[in-house]
Amino acid sequence: MPVEFKDYYATLGVTRDASDDDIKKAFRKLARQYHPDVARDKKTAEERFKEINEANEVLSDPVKRRKYDELGAHWQEDGRTPSPPGSEGRRPQAPNDWQAREFHFTGTGFSDFFEQFFGGGRGFGFEPDGPDSAAESHAAGRPGADIEGEILVTLDEVMHGTTRAISLRNLNPRTGQAETHSFQVRIPAGAIEGRRIRVPGKGEPGGGGARAGDLYLRVRYAAHPDFRVRGADLYHDVDLAPWEAVLGTTVVAPSFEGAIKVHLPPATQPGAQLRVRGHGLPKGRGGERGDLYVVANIQVPPRLTAKERALWEELSRTSQFNPREPL
């Protein structure tokens, strides 16, 4: 089934030689506008955000970006869809059989293009007993193979849980007809990244009346413009002027309970992590929550006015502070 090429550079509005920092900045800017957790018009924003997240997923990862750049150079050479980069020799079946065993998801948050080239085999049927058994499974009364895919969830969905409509389209090997199965999948609150959600009986159909396989959806968090996630803890970077770090200041930080006013103490060090208890993601069903860490990111002014320079020079003459004190 042909897939449409995605120009991830155009999606983020960056050039092909953009640095990692440019990509990060472009993603954060667009995500602030379109992330479903922060956008005003969630419906319109959702589709756009999926594209932005997908582009960031590929371009912010050096390995995926390299594969993508190679792929872009050879896209549909000779009119054929290329194999996913790095997958050469992984699929021993004949092309027709490969086609017959192909699955396409919609509603997971990833495009067919991403699933095929960066999904690492996700979205395709898994052979229960190795590749040779695939051809037999439909005829010999054997249970259907399990299917595994990824499902993109926002942190807001992780906070509160959600139900998602998933469509699974595959080619029936007996009839050769495309079939679409739609169903609802419940994502529980506190679903940690990497968790597999099992949807019984939604895998490949069994042969000879045997039971169908199961569908496994692996949870992937959508990148958030304000938070990084580690386990159930959230990390929010806050930029500080040097004098704010030295004298202490008050900042407004986002949280899922609404904005919070955080008092940073004097002498806040670069990279200092200040813990706000219980403002992270849920930890399973017990009602316990992870923590939110406000991370101090001290910024040095890139330009100075004459007056500012004079003040810094005066400070340098007056201050007793020596960051390179002899050991």
Q: For binding to other proteins (CB under 8 A), which residues are involved?
A: 192-195, 230-231, 250-252, 257-265, 272-277, 293-294
Q: Compare residues 263 and 324 and give the one whose CB is closer to other proteins.
A: 263
For the beta carbon of residue 45, count every other beta carbon within 10 angstroms: 19
- Is residue 316 classed exposed, middle or buried when 0-12, 13-18 and 19+ CB atoms within 10 A define those classes? exposed
| Share of the chain residues as helix, strand and coil, in percent rounded to the nearest 5 | 30, 25, 45
Q: Compare residues 47 and 239 and give the one whose CB is closer to other proteins.
A: 239
Q: Compare residues 258 and 287 and give the one whose CB is closer to other proteins.
A: 258
Q: Compare residues 50 and 236 and give the one whose CB is closer to other proteins.
A: 236
CA distances from 137 to 179, 210, 212 (A): 19, 10, 11
Minimum Å gap between C-beta 226 and other proteins is 14
Q: Compare residues 134 and 238 and give the one whose CB is closer to other proteins.
A: 238
Minimum Å gap between C-beta 268 and other proteins is 9
In 3D space, the residue among 266, 39, 33, 259 whose CA is nearest the CA of residue 251 turns out to be 259
Minimum Å gap between C-beta 259 and other proteins is 4
The CA dihedral of 21, 26, 28, 31, to the nearest 10 degrees, is -150
User: For 76-83, which contacts have Cβ atoms below 8 Å and span 24 or more sequence positions?
Assistant: 76/5, 81/2, 81/3
Give the DSSP H/E element, type plus range, for residue 306.
Answer: helix 306-318
Minimum Å gap between C-beta 84 and other proteins is 26
Minimum Å gap between C-beta 240 and other proteins is 12
Q: Compare residues 210 and 262 and give the one whose CB is closer to other proteins.
A: 262
Minimum Å gap between C-beta 323 and other proteins is 21
Strands (DSSP E) contained in 137-266 are 147-153, 162-171, 178-187, 196-199, 215-221, 228-230, 233-240, 249-253, 260-264
Q: Compare residues 181 and 196 and give the one whose CB is closer to other proteins.
A: 196
Q: How far apart are CA 91 and CA 131, in angstroms?
A: 8
Q: Compare residues 159 and 276 and give the one whose CB is closer to other proteins.
A: 276
Copy the structure tokens of residue 258: 């609404």
Q: 20-34 vs 42-59: helix axis angle to the nearest 10?
A: 170
β pairing state of 196-199 and 215-221:
antiparallel
Minimum Å gap between C-beta 159 and other proteins is 17
Minimum Å gap between C-beta 105 and other proteins is 23
Q: How far apart are CA 49 and CA 28, in angstroms?
A: 11
